[in-house]
Structure 1
Amino acid sequence: MHTTTKTSPIETKDLVQKTVFPILFSISFAHLLNDLIQAIIPSVYPILKENYHLSFSEIGLITFAFQLTASLFQPFVGYYTDKYPQPFSQIYGMLFSLAGIIALSFADNFYMILISVMLIGTGSSIFHPESARVSYLASGGKRGLAQSIFQVGGNFGTALGPLLVALIVVPNSQKYILWFIIAAIIGLGIISKIAFWYRDHLVLRTNQKKEIVAYHDLSKGKVNWAIAILLIVIFSKFFYSACLSTYYTFYVIDKFHLTIKQAQFHMFIYLIAYAAGTILGGPLGDKIGRKYVIWFSVFGATPFALLLPYVSLFWTDVLMVVIGIIISSAFPAILVYAQELLPKKLGMVSGLFYGFAFGMGALGSAFLGKLADVTSIQYVYQVCSFLPIIGAICYFLPNLKKK
């Protein structure tokens, strides 16, 4: 016989405010699988370039198509789900990504490649806003920590992508991309479990008489000014990151005469460092204030970025590790800072910042691909080394650290 247990208001409050680590680790692992699928795209660029005689401009356009679909829909998805939460929407996102994997493995021309990456981009744009909200709801107030746990999953997925492509796809053929269907299927299973928790959690929050939201005393003008500064920082960070992620394998192949497989392993070193930095950014923001983490993580990479184009392969790896750790600590702090600026618009804020980040990556990839065709890939790295200087604008951010 089925019995229903009534949850008291006190128990409901405890459930809503408690940090739910199983959900945080589950959504982090789902993020790992989602971003692992995304990471296939830049990882197979050398193969696609060779097979279909693509120019750097066409490589940039492929990234542009992916990042545009991954960014364009996110603010709208977030805006809609702020009003009408969709616990099962992430499942649809993963199904789009699954279709993209299949299409990419069989793509035999430039336009089919574009359609494939746009399917994966659409899946990503559906996945991120609601996933960021899940990590926020499961944080129990430890928002920086929760966002770091969520982000680090994505970064490890991005790091594993080139390694698995080097081991599975490069020695064989493009069709071996089909093996990544396994990641999508596992992701669907995990996201389904999270969706039921999310649905039940929404019911619990509805049953609370008063939802606890952390407000600040900033005027609307100051909030808008702070959002504008954060978007400029996102431009600097992700334009530079597009240089590092999209073209790094080409850079080390061109400058140090490496094979595709060797270049992928050097890319893996950088991406692991990038993942490690993400772990630090959120908790540090909780402890010392997000403004200082954001400022250091963008502007602090400047001297290392300026040195990068002029050093040997060994020191290139060392500098890429340092740059990866420093610059990656920014995004969890940026996203939580923005959520605290607009606490009633979590989905829209998450979608806006993920979308703008991907959009800047798209614009950066397209522009830098054209620049590489006109000049050289090494010249691109020299020009981009100045981008982190823009991070100095973080000085003007208001401090939201609570006592």
Structure 2
Amino acid sequence: MKKGQLGFLTGTHAVNDLYQGVIPAMLPFLMTERHYSYAAVSGLAFAASGVSSLFQPLFGILSDSKPRGWLVPVGSVTAALGVVAAGLSDSYLLTWIFVALAGIGIAAYHPPATSQARAAGGSSQKAMSVFSVGGTVGGAVAPSLTTVVIGSLGFDAGYLLAVPALVMLVLWVLKGPWMRWRGHEEAAPLMSGPAGKAAGDGAGPTDDWRAFGRLVVVIIGWSIPYVTVTSLLSLHAQRDLGQSEAAGAVALTSYTAAGAVGTLLGGWIGDRHGRMTSVRAGYLVALPALAGIVWAPWFPVLVVCAALFGAAMFLPFAAQVTLAQDYLPNRPGTASGLTLGMAMAAGGLCSPAFGWLADNSGLPSAFYALLVVFVVPVGLALRLRDRVLPVAGLRSTPTAETADSGAP
């Protein structure tokens, strides 16, 4: 494990996903100041996550064809500029375009950064969970930072939100001791397929597209409640439980901060008990936690259930990323782009529908529908199969491609 590289990449992940968290945190302020409807707010959520997700597979394919490490800082800076411009724009159309631009910047970051993190962390689930938790921490900080900057100073002070991305850009340009990767380390971490053959490894493992497709379906089902709860949780606290904007930010922060705990716990469980244990445990706990959000009678109950739901949803996160890369060992960037991108697009695409339902039938109805939808991925996640592959630099002879985790 290359701890210096992993630590720096974890920091860049925190910066990048800070902007992913800033956008939903901005929605209540946009709704209040510009009188947007639930549907309009959900449309912005789609611009952030849906458009971003549609672009991620493209960046994944580009990362597989040739190392493009420069997308890491460029993506985060683009996301920052999009967020700032969205806060300063006057029309809904311009706001939507700038939010979409921020989403594209977020998309550009993930495939190359995830491949680099897998290479730095080797075969450890804990290493990938550390990298993943960087993004979760960034998302957890975002609501409080947005409330302090925009809630106190207004959208005119939104340029302050760009400072973290600019600092990260400077560190990247300086190329200090935290950036000691070169050449092919920026590309596929699993030296199989074309890369492995070139290195003299022989045939190497093949891509299992069928298993990968099943995983994508599960992640699609994961993304719908994740994106919708992120978009509507703060509004749920304010509109249905009579809380303030600050209290809504607390609920959202609890949700995202608990995700960091769940990510680290999932990595620990994956290393000790197998990654499929963390996947199944996460989905089984998340379902009743979501029910608690739906039926929470008081704000403290909502916060507790949101925190439990956030932790449970991120328990399988690192395992899903590494499992996707092991299903497609010859295309790790594509695997990252599709699982973190195209699958997540479902959440963004469905978000306006839940917003429309909230406008017409109230927020509780939207959450009831969400609970029904989430039953499907929970059932499918219990049937996923593991696949264990060697990591670049850690094997001398081919090993078995698959290991049945006990699922039927």
Which residue number in structure 2 is paired with residue 326 of structure 1? 312
Q: Give, in whole Å, the separation in 1 of the partners of 2:213 and 2:196.
A: 36
Preserved contact between residue 15 and residue 76 of structure 2 (Cα < 8 Å): no
What residue ranges of structure 1 are gaps of 5+ in the alignment?
1-18
2:187 is the counterpart of 1:210: no
Q: Give, in whole Å, the separation in 2 of the partners of 1:75 and 1:381.
A: 29
Which residue number in structure 2 is paired with residue 111 of structure 1? 93
C-alpha distance 304-102 of structure 1, shift in aligned 2 (>3 A): closer
Which residue number in structure 2 is paired with residue 169 of structure 1? 150
Which residue number in structure 2 is paired with residue 11 of structure 1? none
Which residue number in structure 2 is paired with residue 253 of structure 1? 238
TM-score by length of 2: 0.86
More deviation in 331-340 or 352-361? 352-361
Counterpart AA for 1:240: P
Which residue number in structure 1 is paired with residue 229 of structure 2? 244
- Which of 329, 337, 353 is residue 351 of structure 1 equivalent to? 337
The Cα of 1:140 is off from its aligned counterpart by 2.8
TM-score by length of 1: 0.87
Q: Give, in whole Å, the separation in 2 of the partners of 1:272 and 1:173.
A: 25
Aligned counterparts, 1:4-403, within 5 A: 19-142=1-124, 144-192=125-173, 193=175, 197-200=180-183, 202=185, 210=199, 223-311=208-296, 312-390=298-376, 391-400=378-387
Q: Secondary structure at the match of 1:197?
A: coil
C-alpha distance 102-389 of structure 1, shift in aligned 2 (>3 A): closer
Preserved contact between residue 15 and residue 138 of structure 2 (Cα < 8 Å): yes
CA RMSD between the two structures:
2.6
Preserved contact between residue 9 and residue 117 of structure 2 (Cα < 8 Å): yes
Q: Give, in whole Å, the separation in 1 of the partners of 2:117 and 2:137.
A: 17
Please give the per-residue CA displacement for 1:181-214, whole angstroms capped at 9, x wherever unaligned.
Answer: 1111012134443895333564999999837799
Counterpart AA for 1:271: T
Q: Give, in whole Å, the separation in 2 of the partners of 1:91 and 1:215.
A: 33
Please give the per-residue CA displacement for 1:27-78, whole angstroms capped at 9, x wherever unaligned.
Answer: 1111111111221111111111122211111111111122233111211111
Preserved contact between residue 26 and residue 190 of structure 1 (Cα < 8 Å): no
Q: Secondary structure at the match of 2:181?
A: helix
The Cα of 1:307 is off from its aligned counterpart by 3.1
Q: Secondary structure at the match of 1:256?
A: coil
Q: Give, in whole Å, the separation in 2 of the partners of 1:207 and 1:368.
A: 45
Q: Secondary structure at the match of 1:396?
A: coil
Please give the per-residue CA displacement for 1:63-114, whole angstroms capped at 9, x wherever unaligned.
Answer: 1122233111211111122121112222321332232133123111101111
Preserved contact between residue 237 and residue 247 of structure 2 (Cα < 8 Å): no
Preserved contact between residue 290 and residue 400 of structure 1 (Cα < 8 Å): no
Which residue number in structure 1 is paired with residue 398 of structure 2? none
C-alpha distance 211-363 of structure 1, shift in aligned 2 (>3 A): farther
Please give the per-residue CA displacement for 1:94-147, whole angstroms capped at 9, x wherever unaligned.
Answer: 3322321331231111011112111111111110000001101101322x1221
